[in-house]
């Protein structure tokens, strides 16, 4: 009996333990919905562009750093070669290339078609400022010089001025305008700026220049402010000689650099550097100066966009060095797109000079990559495409000009 009670007691204890255990339900496995989600950050635009650049050859990268002039009104074997063999990143048109609306559009469409094997679209640029500096006056009615805007003091008029510029380019298939002029007209003896400038007042140049830029950009055209660090206080034309600006850095910051700083703060996407000698900043011309492009423009003034050179075949440069050599110095100094506007063989010479500079380590691939990323970002931001534009034969642009400026 005693043994039986012992057995019953043991069973009872075991049953109790069993009940206690059975009451503790096993932890349920979390369902997929309950699992914590690990957020994966989407790659940034720069990261995506860097992936593209990493897949490019050095020849393709260097091609993006060059903008070429054209010889005639139709695409030639030279231009096809520049695209097929050298992957040139863009072209600039002058009056010598422009006939009428249909012919100009056909020329641009031919360039786009010739670039069809390249996934990166072309920069197709022009100087369409208004006044004396216009390339499209054979097609559209010309705008008054930009000094007209300063005399009016009207921001809305300045915006419409830029919008008309942009619409002219868009209808033809162009996508970059070297405008607005952000030079302050501070020297009455200036032979090259004069009424191309908005005003002799830096704040007014800044205010209205920004509006011109916005008007251009809202038409899908890249505006390019020029001529950094300011061509207004000169008495020499940089097409023939190198102008010298005898001003301190402090004086420049209070006058010439004001419109550029304001434009940078407002998001100016591109700036053209002029050929100017400013001894207080550097002994080298501004377009070849790391102290001016990299240190002043980029670091101090905070510009992160694309830097274009002025035409490197101008006398201010070629009086002392070859344009192809100058192009290398420009990109080493921090510039992005070197303009070679004249000379049948100079574009290829420039390409070869850049390749040589890379081979000997004078131009590093890391710096080239940074430049190409800025260029691709600008092309992407403005949704540039190598597609023919729709033909429009209406005279709305001339009507807008008549209404606003006559």
- Return the SS3 of 92: strand
Q: What does 112-148 look like in DSSP terms, one character per residue? A: HHHTTT-SSPPEEEE---BTTB-S-TTTSPPPPPTHH
- Report in angstroms the alpha-carbon separations of 69 from 96, 247, 267, 315, 341: 10, 34, 28, 16, 4
Interatomic CA distance for residues 297 and 335, integer angstroms: 10
Look-up: residue for tokens 């390249």? 118
- Exactly one of 239, 295, 370, 398 is catalytic; name it: 239
Q: Are the C-beta atoms of 206 and 256 separated by less than 8 Å?
A: no
- Exactly one of 310, 311, 336, 386 is catalytic; name it: 310
Residue 250, burial from CB neighbour count under 10 angstroms (0-12, 13-18, 19+): exposed
Examine the residue annotation and report whether 189 is marked as an active-site residue of this protein. Answer: no
The half-sphere exposure of 234 on its side-chain side, counting CA atoms within 13 A, is 28
> Which one-letter DSSP state was computed for residue 305?
S
Q: What does 20-76 look like in DSSP terms, one character per residue? A: HHHHSPPPPPPPTTTSPP---PPPPHHHHHHHHHHTS-HHHHHHTTEEEE-SSSS--
Tokens for 313, please give them: 């075949």
Examine the residue annotation and report whether 310 is marked as an active-site residue of this protein. Answer: yes
User: Cβ neighbours of residue 263 under 8 Å, at least 6 residues apart?
Assistant: 182, 206, 209, 210, 213, 225, 271
Catalytic residue IDs: 239, 310
């Amino acid at each position: 009996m005693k043994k039986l009670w012992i057995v019953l007691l043991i069973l009872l204890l075991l049953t109790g333990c069993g009940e206690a255990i059975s009451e503790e339900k096993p932890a349920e496995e979390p369902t997929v919905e309950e699992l914590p989600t690990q957020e994966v950050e989407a790659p940034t635009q720069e990261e995506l562009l860097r992936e593209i650049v990493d897949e490019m050859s050095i020849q393709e990268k260097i091609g993006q750093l060059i903008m070429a002039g054209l010889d005639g009104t139709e695409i030639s074997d030279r231009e096809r070669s520049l695209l097929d063999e050298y992957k040139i990143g863009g072209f600039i048109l002058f009056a010598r290339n422009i006939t009428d609306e249909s012919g100009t559009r056909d020329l641009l469409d031919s360039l786009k078609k010739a670039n069809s094997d390249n996934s990166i679209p072309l920069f197709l640029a022009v100087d369409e400022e208004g006044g004396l500096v216009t390339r499209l006056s054979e097609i559209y009615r010309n705008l008054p010089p930009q000094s007209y805007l300063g005399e009016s003091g009207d921001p809305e008029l300045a915006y419409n001025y830029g919008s008309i510029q942009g619409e002219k380019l868009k209808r033809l298939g162009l996508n970059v305008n070297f405008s607005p002029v952000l030079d302050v007209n501070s020297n009455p003896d200036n032979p090259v700026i004069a009424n191309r400038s908005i005003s002799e007042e830096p704040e007014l140049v800044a205010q209205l220049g920004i509006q011109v830029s916005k008007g251009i950009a809202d038409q899908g055209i890249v505006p390019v402010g020029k001529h950094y660090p300011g061509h207004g206080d000169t008495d020499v034309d940089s097409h023939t000689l190198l102008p010298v600006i005898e001003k301190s850095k402090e004086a420049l910051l209070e006058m010439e650099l004001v419109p550029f700083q304001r434009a940078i703060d407002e998001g100016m996407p591109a700036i053209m550097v002029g050929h100017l000698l400013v001894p207080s900043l550097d002994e080298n011309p501004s377009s070849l100066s790391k102290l001016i492009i990299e240190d002043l423009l980029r670091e101090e003034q905070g510009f992160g966009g694309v830097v274009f050179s002025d035409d490197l075949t101008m006398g201010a440069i070629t009086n002392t060095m070859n344009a192809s050599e100058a192009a290398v110095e420009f990109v080493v100094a921090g510039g992005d797109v070197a303009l070679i506007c004249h000379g049948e063989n100079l574009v290829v010479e420039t390409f070869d000079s850049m390749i040589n500079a890379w081979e000997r380590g004078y131009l590093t691939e890391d710096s080239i990559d940074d430049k190409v990323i800025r260029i691709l970002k600008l092309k992407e931001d403005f949704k540039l495409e190598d597609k023919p534009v729709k033909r429009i034969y209406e005279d709305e642009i001339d009507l807008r000009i008549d209404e606003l400026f006559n």
